[in-house]
Chains A and B, each alone.
Chain A
Amino acid sequence: MNDDPVIEFSGFLKACRLFRENRLSEAEAVCTNLLRKNPLDQATWALKLQCLSDSTYIDELENEDMGLAETFLDQNVIAKSARPGTSFARPKTTAKGVNPILRFIIAIIIFSMSYGNVYRFGTLISTYNMFSRPTTNAGRPLSGVVRPQSSFKSGSMDQAVRTARTAKTARAVSSTSARNMRLGTASMAAGADGEFVNLARLNIEKYAADPQVNRQLFEYVFYYVNDMRVAHQIAGAASKSAGFEDYYWKNQLAKCYLRLGMIPDATKQLQSSLEQRKLIETFAFLAKTYNRVDQPMAALKTYMAGLDVFPEDVTMLTGMARVQEALGEFDVSVALYNRVLDAQANNIEAIACVATTYYYGGKPEIALRYYRRILQMGCSSAELFMNIGLCCLAAQQFDFALSSIMRAQSTLTDDVAADIWFNIGQVMLEVGDLPAASRSYRIALTHDPDHSESLVNLGILRYRDGNIDEARSLYAAAVAKNPLMFEGNYNLGLVCFTQGKYHDCRRLMERALEVFPDHEHCKKILSSIKPLYESI
């Protein structure tokens, strides 16, 4: 047996094999050598392009990071004042919140995993507010995972700009710059002898029309160099040379348009691509463009159309579930996530969302089983352990809860530290150790001075100690950091009411009612203030 000669690949064939085995850097090195010998070898050249672009490949579908500029200076939104339930800006308020004076909100813990090599994907949890779902800092209902999309638009530009910027919270002003540019330059440094293709001197018309190399060239420019203008030029030329009949180039054009923020053009390309060929990717991108212009209903319709062609497709179902969740339709969303799990049992996003729903539905034991499943699949992060700890606590398995929480504490990373400590504070409250609880909140605040939930809860504890002025300033700080927060507004309103500052109280209560329109106590206080204004 051993007599068989070991087959040694060499040259282009070796590069191809390495590429197939996903050993990109080795493949690239072989190509570089080959190209040194024969710079005009198109096959090698294309393979090297492919190696480079694969190493920085991002799933464009999930790449939804929007910068401040896109979020708030967005001109694309079609209906400025949409009816409730038809826009992300006005989700249906089905959530029945909670909150008498001592309500403790519960936070959001995000846990993130890396996904591919660039894109961060998160799963969240929030703690332990059963029976009602808290909202995120931006006022969105909390989801089971943290994804860029969850930071859609909410609140005002004013608020976004005012939030204290630290290295952690800084958000790129415009999405086309920060992340993508950073990727570009980082990978550039890897190639020792400067840029591989000199785009400025490249004869784009010639190469774009060549079906042998144009795809590789496009992907290289799009993913690796990140030069949208050139990428668009290549895709346009290629599409033209293919006689406007190639769905691939239409999709690529749409991707360029999306990156460039030209959303109506992207929609047009995708629609015409769908006429030629129905692809999952095309449906998903089309829905994404609708989401970008705040047309969730159209997005849902697109996903439905996609499901007709590709029944039980995970991408479509996940997309629909996300949209429904953003609209506040949690029941529908969870039903969809359950369908996702039927089709793909190891989808972490779906598991986390279903678990969160069970948790807030008052069934922590079942939620625990889902979280354990995530753990079994090999993800472990501080958030996950915290969530498990909270589920155990709610299910009254105290010993296990404490060990999970300690595990979370020892593995926490900076970006979730505030949420973890906030939840530890909640646990301390549950145990009745109030001094330790307020200490935890203070630690949470040192990690993130903007953590408004901690501010409110610390304020409530201060209020309980009779320290009303301190409580007042803590509430005020929380409201300043997060004007959409029900608890902050309500508690500050109560303090104002007892101190006789009726005008402030009225303003705060009105704002609290905007978030939680059916709150009985707010309404009562407002109706008792009204006569103070109106009696003659």
Chain B
Amino acid sequence: MNGLMFHYFAQGDYIECKSLIGEIQSKYLDKNETAHHVRGLIARNEGELEEAMECFQKAYELSGRNKRYYYEIGRCNFLLGRHQIAVEQLTKASEVMKNNPKVWYWLARAIYHFPAEKMESGKTFNPVESARTVLSKDDIARDATLICFLGRLCEELDDKEGAIQAYNNALKLQPDNTEVMNLLGLIYLRMGKVQEGFMQLGNCLAYDPSNSQAILTIGSIMQNHSDHDVALNKYRVAADVCDYNGCLWNNIGIGLLARNKAAAAHSALKKAGFINPLNYKISYNLGVLHDIMNLHCSALHYIRLCTELQPQNSKAIGAMAVILSHMNDNRNARLAYKKSIELKPFPSIVLNYAIFEYRMKDYTASSNAVQLYKELHAAGVKCSANNQQTASLLEAVLKQQDQHAEQ
């Protein structure tokens, strides 16, 4: 009968299984340990944690206090958010089930959720790090979920190499796990290894063509390489699955803008802004878009929103300066340029400032700005070829002015 019970349970036929368990218990006067165990498992799968814990408790009593059941009870406590108790119970369980990687996995997960500010012998207790030590101390890396979790912990600890290794191991065990591919791809991208990242995400899409997250990432890589048409095609699939994704609509808006469809881009970005009202990037894009459409007042509004959300963003303040100069508010434009350069000088903004001062006929300030631009360029900050050209042109013009002045 126990065999039949396991059979039903494995098949997921919980109704049959429960009635069978009822039979077994009435036959053995509620004394069947395994039946209690399976009943507990069913209850947990169905989300009835209290009932599950009761069943496991009974099984524990009947089994002559087999510490294995601490494993199950610990997991229930973990799900209920009682991490302290869960850790205690799982540690007890780990004494008897040393060879089972699952125990360590759950233990690590429970430790991971400890509050970080807990002090232990003077130094801050870092739950993430201790979770990682739990997982990496043995040769327990035999299970994909466990390795994934390890990868995530490594990622949070900024150990990218470790994370990549973990994810690669997980992929060896489960070659069709799209989530892992996604994560792996993202890490590669964060490390600047675009080629590898692109490959992983491509793999992921090969398994699941409608994976919205992978589509979004791949699309943004394409857009970085100005391949807007293909990216837009990809987004069409993603928008179908989940059309309330602000980042997605933001990228669509940029793609449309690149194809010179300002009105369509406007509605896409507005939608993005509605979905994610507190995302500064979207409001930045909206500001730039309105400036392109010559709606300077609206542009200023959105850029202001962006700077309110991210007061230290020098690019946004630089963009604000450009818009202000378009509105002929030269005094404030100059202030904005200065503020932006003070926060963090970007070559393009410095160059804009130089041009602005040139227009204002303040040639010394202008040539100072060009000087700053050259310094930045020499320091190795990335400058586009277009910027380079403009800079040298401006420098030449300024020199002429100088000569004029001398004459």
B305 & A431 in contact (Cβ 8 Å cutoff): yes
A398 & B301 in contact (Cβ 8 Å cutoff): yes
A102 & B277 in contact (Cβ 8 Å cutoff): yes
A520 & B301 in contact (Cβ 8 Å cutoff): no
**Chain A residues, CB < 8 A from B305:** 430-432
Interface centre among B44, B271, B277, B301 (most CB of A within 10 A): B277
Instruction: Assess whether B241 is interfacial by the CB under 8 Å rule.
Output: yes
Complex Cα–Cα for A496 and B109 (A): 15
B246 & A536 in contact (Cβ 8 Å cutoff): no
B301 & A131 in contact (Cβ 8 Å cutoff): no
A396-B295, A502-B81 known; A102 vs B278 contact (CB < 8 Å): yes
Instruction: Assess whether A406 is interfacial by the CB under 8 Å rule.
Output: no
Min CB gap A497→B, angstroms: 11
Partner among A97, A398, A460, A504 whose Cβ is within 8 Å of the Cβ of B81: A504
Interface residues of B in 270-299 (CB under 8 A from A): 270-271, 274-279, 283, 295, 297-298
A96 & B243 in contact (Cβ 8 Å cutoff): yes
Interface centre among A96, A504, A521, A533 (most CB of B within 10 A): A533
A503 & B308 in contact (Cβ 8 Å cutoff): no
A520 & B241 in contact (Cβ 8 Å cutoff): yes
Interface residues of A in 447-487 (CB under 8 A from B): 460, 464
Instruction: Assess whether B245 is interfacial by the CB under 8 Å rule.
Output: yes
**Chain A residues, CB < 8 A from B279:** 102
**Chain B residues, CB < 8 A from A506:** 47
**Chain B residues, CB < 8 A from A104:** 277
Partner among A429, A431, A433, A519 whose Cβ is within 8 Å of the Cβ of B278: A429
Complex Cα–Cα for A103 and B295 (A): 27
Instruction: Assess whether B113 is interfacial by the CB under 8 Å rule.
Output: yes
Complex Cα–Cα for A304 and B235 (A): 43
Partner among B145, B301, B309 whose Cβ is within 8 Å of the Cβ of A396: B301
A502-B79, A506-B47 known; A433 vs B274 contact (CB < 8 Å): no
Interface centre among B246, B270, B274, B309 (most CB of A within 10 A): B274
A362 & B112 in contact (Cβ 8 Å cutoff): no
A102-B278, A520-B241 known; A535 vs B81 contact (CB < 8 Å): no
A432-B305, A433-B308, A533-B45 known; A100 vs B267 contact (CB < 8 Å): no
Min CB gap B336→A, angstroms: 16
Chain B residues bordering chain A, tally (CB within 8 A): 44
Across the two chains, which residue of chain A brings its CB closest to B307?
A: A432
A98-B274, A535-B102 known; A503 vs B246 contact (CB < 8 Å): no
A500 & B112 in contact (Cβ 8 Å cutoff): yes
B271 & A520 in contact (Cβ 8 Å cutoff): no
Across the two chains, which residue of chain A brings its CB closest to B241?
A: A520
**Chain B residues, CB < 8 A from A434:** 308-309
Instruction: Assess whether B244 is interfacial by the CB under 8 Å rule.
Output: yes
Size range of the interface on A? 35 or more
A131-B271, A396-B295 known; A97 vs B244 contact (CB < 8 Å): yes
Complex Cα–Cα for A531 and B177 (A): 14
A396-B295, A434-B308 known; A98 vs B244 contact (CB < 8 Å): yes
A506-B47, A534-B45 known; A432 vs B297 contact (CB < 8 Å): no
A102-B278, A503-B80 known; A362 vs B271 contact (CB < 8 Å): yes
**Chain B residues, CB < 8 A from A535:** 102, 145
Complex Cα–Cα for A440 and B212 (A): 36
Instruction: Assess whether B304 is interfacial by the CB under 8 Å rule.
Output: yes
Across the two chains, which residue of chain A brings its CB closest to B246?
A: A100
**Chain A residues, CB < 8 A from B242:** 520-521
Min CB gap A518→B, angstroms: 8
Complex Cα–Cα for A398 and B299 (A): 12
B interface, CB within 8 angstroms of A: 41, 44-45, 47, 49, 75, 78-81, 83, 102, 109-110, 112-113, 145, 212, 241-246, 267, 270-271, 274-279, 283, 295, 297-298, 301, 304-309
What are some 11 contacts across the A-B interface (CB < 8 A)?
Answer: A96-B244, A98-B274, A100-B244, A130-B274, A131-B271, A398-B298, A430-B305, A500-B81, A520-B242, A532-B79, A533-B44
